[in-house]
A and B are shown apart, each in its own frame.
Chain A
Amino acid sequence: MNCVECKTRLEEFLAGKLDHEGRSAIIAHLITCDACTLECSRLAELIDAFDRSREESVLEPPNPSAIWRRISNTIEQELRANSKADRPDPEIEGPRRWTLSMRQLLLSVAAISLTSSLLTIVGIKNYFDPGGPDFVSRSVETQTTFEKLLSRVGLTETPQEARERRLREQQAAIEYWSRRVAARRAFWDEKLRRGFDRNLQAIDQAVIEYQRSLEQNPDDELSGEMLDSVMNEKMSLLREFAEL
């Protein structure tokens, strides 16, 4: 047997897989060849080490969760160390950062979406339907649930509040134009003056009627609408005569 044949059969020899004749031939060669003997001893050590390690691994099976906990702890320690190093002094920095849980974050996103949707709906409705029923002349009965909700939370006025605000604005304009008319009326002829006074009186009577009607029934939509209309008539009359 030469060295090449010996080395190729060493593994089988050490594993005890060779027959008596093959084992005798290997042994006879190893006695005469130092190189092959050395190779044989190295291979035997390697196989022993492998077998030992396999035996250990069978006796002490690995714990993945423990290994992961260790790794996780290490990562967290490193992160804490980094964040401490990066975080400036709170007294110097000012407002602290919000930390939200996933649930809080989802609720916040839902609330923002709902609010923006409602505001968009209101905006679109007002944009496309500005000439619809005037809110000033509306009653509580004709308010939609959505409008009632907005009124209740204070986002919009109730019809009554809107009417009162509108009346105050109209009254302010009427007072302004009345002063202008008072300054000008001395220049009008008698016929014009009488016509103006009679007309103003008719308008004021209508205003009183609608105000009485609204006192009795604040939700009377028609009286609200007519009051708004007749107040506009009064403003228009005063403005036109103030220019004469």
Chain B
Amino acid sequence: MPAFIRSSCRRIIPLRATKVATLCLIIWAAGAAVDAAAQRRFNRSYPAGQNVRLQLLNRSGTVTVEGWNRQEVSISAFLEAPAATIEPQSLSGTIYINLVRDNQGRGDVGSVNFLIRVPFEAFVDIETKIGNLSVTNVRGGLVRAHITTEGDITLTNIEADNVSAQNGIGDIFFDGILQPNGNYRFASISGNISIRIPLGSSFRLVATAPSTRNISLGNFSGEHLRFVGDGRRVAGTAGDGSATLTITNQRGTISFLRR
């Protein structure tokens, strides 16, 4: 390359880089402004008793529920455009949020992403048509998480007596402690179900994975659990079998992990 051209490039390139960077910054700022305008926020708090119940039915979007050391329920929602209508109700110790009912007859409704904080001892019953569900640090009487179609369910540090997680396509992960006489049910059409519990847990198990026949018992395989139906099902008891654990995965895998 001739010397005069090389010197010209040295002057031009820094100039162009600065312009491009500035342009990107402007575009990003504009995008953020548009996003901010499109996404509305909803915040509300309710005083709660020891055994408050949260009942949420969402249309689409993620729902995150976290237990905290306060006697109140805090609801934060991020509403994508076109914004859905939210009208929570608090009746005799239960907080109801029903976006299907509140937006009945509306064709186009944007997703709503919830972040809800509840007392540790709360009863949590959440459901969505599509989207991920996550529940953390809850040890009340019930944790129910249902997704009608697609989405992952993540239940972490759960010590509830009754747990039910069900989805169509998506993974289910449960991490917690099984309570004596507790009832635990996990069901999926297609996805992976993982159960992470302490090694000495006592439960009566019926785990069925008819399509993949992939049921991994991990450290729990030494217990009185046996494969039946050509390896499509595992049934039996671990420990004294006080809790009931029912897992069904139509077209996916089931695996046990040590906590």
- Chain B residues in 8 Å Cβ range of A229: 248, 250
Q: 1/0 per residue A184-224: CB within 8 Å of B? A: 00111101100110110011011001100000000001110
How many A-B pairs with Cβ below 8 Å?
78
The reply to whether B148 and A223 form a contact with Cβ atoms under 8 Å apart is: no
- Chain B residues in 8 Å Cβ range of A233: 168, 189, 250
B150 at the interface (CB under 8 A from A): yes
How many residues of chain B have a CB within 8 Å of chain A?
A: 25
Looking at chain A's contact residues, the main secondary structure is: helix
The reply to whether B129 and A222 form a contact with Cβ atoms under 8 Å apart is: no
- Chain A residues in 8 Å Cβ range of B251: 202, 205-206, 209
Residue of B nearest to A189 (CB): B108
B107 at the interface (CB under 8 A from A): yes
Question: Contact partner of B148 among A187, A189, A240, CB < 8 A?
Answer: A240
Supposing A196-B149, A222-B210 touch, asked if A191 and B100 sit within 8 A by C-beta, the answer is: no
Bound complex: CA A199 to CA B188 (Å): 11
The reply to whether A230 and B229 form a contact with Cβ atoms under 8 Å apart is: no
How many residues of chain A have a CB within 8 Å of chain B?
A: 29
- Chain B residues in 8 Å Cβ range of A195: 60, 129-130, 149-150
The reply to whether A202 and B168 form a contact with Cβ atoms under 8 Å apart is: yes
The reply to whether B109 and A241 form a contact with Cβ atoms under 8 Å apart is: no
Residue of B nearest to A196 (CB): B149
A226 at the interface (CB under 8 A from B): yes
The reply to whether B107 and A187 form a contact with Cβ atoms under 8 Å apart is: yes
Bound complex: CA A191 to CA B60 (Å): 9
B117 at the interface (CB under 8 A from A): no
- Which 9 A-B pairs give the minimum distances between C-beta atoms? A199-B168, A187-B107, A199-B149, A195-B149, A222-B229, A195-B130, A206-B250, A195-B150, A202-B190
17 pairs of residues in contact across A and B, judged by CB atoms under 8 Å: A189-B107, A189-B109, A191-B111, A195-B60, A195-B150, A199-B168, A199-B169, A203-B250, A206-B251, A209-B210, A209-B211, A210-B210, A222-B232, A222-B233, A226-B248, A236-B148, A243-B100
- Chain A residues in 8 Å Cβ range of B109: 189
